[in-house]
Amino acid sequence: MKILIVEDNIEISQLIQKTLERENFECFIARDGLRAIDVFSQYQPDLIVLDLMIPGLDGLEVCARIRQKPGSKDPYILMLTAKGEEIDRVIGLSTGADDYMVKPFSPRELVARVRALLRRSLRQGGQEQVYRTPHFTIDLDRHTAYRHFDSQESEPLDLTMLEFKLIATLVSYPGRVWSRTQLIDNLWGDDFFGDERVVDTHVARLRKKIEPDSAHPTFIKTVVGVGYKFEDSSDIV
């Protein structure tokens, strides 16, 4: 898998490169927007880690131009920027980005986000659509969800349609923080009318079905003032 890193800060770009190359990704670096377009055309990467504030063309313009290129590979785009205001996230995602991270970032979370996006790419090119983490398997085609234990035993999860869509959304991007508005868009779309806090109710119900202790969640974490994220690790008992 080829990854293009568009970042003008040398130290940050090298950190991202070393982090991803340790995971056996092939990386290319561009330090300005125009160079990013050239490198994309030459190497056709599978994913782009794109800083928003770069010289020449900014990240939003680079994202828009890549999405408009006819006949080119349609890569996943992960925006990485110091800007954390919600309006910047909204603009970035509406321009064509697939995910969004704010600096300073965790290299471990970066790898998780990259792998989640690339797994999504592989699923779309194959026959099955399955999300797998150390403790869960979510099969979209069969509409089944399983919780795995360290004893290698598994149990099916008895979920409502909405709970299934909620866990599938969260598990599809481990580590990504979802706002209530984004979850509402994924779960209800244009059919939603009401208070966005209804998301909290459904998260609480889902936690009771998947968490060892729903009062102290292990997998679905609350990000105060933002929303929710899913985390899973083989270290979790």
pLDDT tens column, 2-27:
999 999 999 999 999 999 999 889 99
Contact 26, 2 (CB under 8 A): yes
pLDDT value for 186: 79
Number of helices and strands in the chain (H, E): 8, 12
Mean pLDDT of 129-146: 87
Lowest mean pLDDT among 32-36, 76-80, 86-90, 104-108: 86-90
Each residue of 159-212: pLDDT tens digit? 888 899 999 999 988 888 899 888 888 787 766 667 788 899 999 999 999 999
Beta bridge mates, 137: 132, 146
In the chain, pLDDT over 70 holds for what percent of residues?
84
Q: What is the pLDDT of residues 201-226, one digit of tens each?
A: 999 999 999 999 999 999 999 999 88
Report how far Cα 78 is from the mean position of its chain's Cα atoms. 8
Cα distances (Å, whole numbers) of residue 145 to 162, 169, 192:
13, 13, 25
Q: CA–CA separation, 34 vs 21, rounded Å?
A: 24
The answer regarding whether domain 2-124 maps to CATH 3.40.50.2300 reads yes
What distance separates the 2 farthest-apart alpha carbons in the chain? 54
Beta pairing partners, 65? none
In contact, 88 and 70? CB cutoff 8 Å: no
- The segment(s) of the chain belonging to CATH 3.40.50.2300 are 2-124
> What is the pLDDT confidence band of residue 237, given thresholds at 50, 70 and 90?
low
Burial 127-153 (b: 16+ CB within 10 A, else e): eeeebebebbbbebeeeebebbeeeee
Both tokens of 97, joined, read: 């980005």
Which band of pLDDT confidence, cut at 50, 70 and 90, is reported for residue 108? Answer: confident
Residue found under tokens 């969800």? 145
Instruction: Name the average pLDDT for the chain.
Output: 85
Omega prior to 104 cis, within 30 of 0:
yes
Contacts of 8 (CB under 8 A, 6+ apart): 31, 32, 51, 53, 54, 55
Quote the pLDDT of residue 86.
61
What per-residue confidence (pLDDT) applies to 151? Answer: 59
Four-CA torsion 192, 197, 199, 203, nearest 10 degrees: -160
The answer to pTM > 0.85 is: no
The domain made up of 127-230 has a fold known as Arc Repressor Mutant, subunit A (1.10.10)
Q: How confident is the model at residue 103 (pLDDT cuts 50, 70, 90)?
A: confident
Helices of type H across the chain: 10-21, 33-43, 59-68, 86-95, 107-125, 161-172, 180-187, 198-210
Give the pLDDT score at 33: 95
Q: Where in the chain is the domain with CATH 1.10.10.10?
A: 127-230
Over range 75-92, report the average pLDDT.
73
Cβ count within 10 A of residue 2: 15
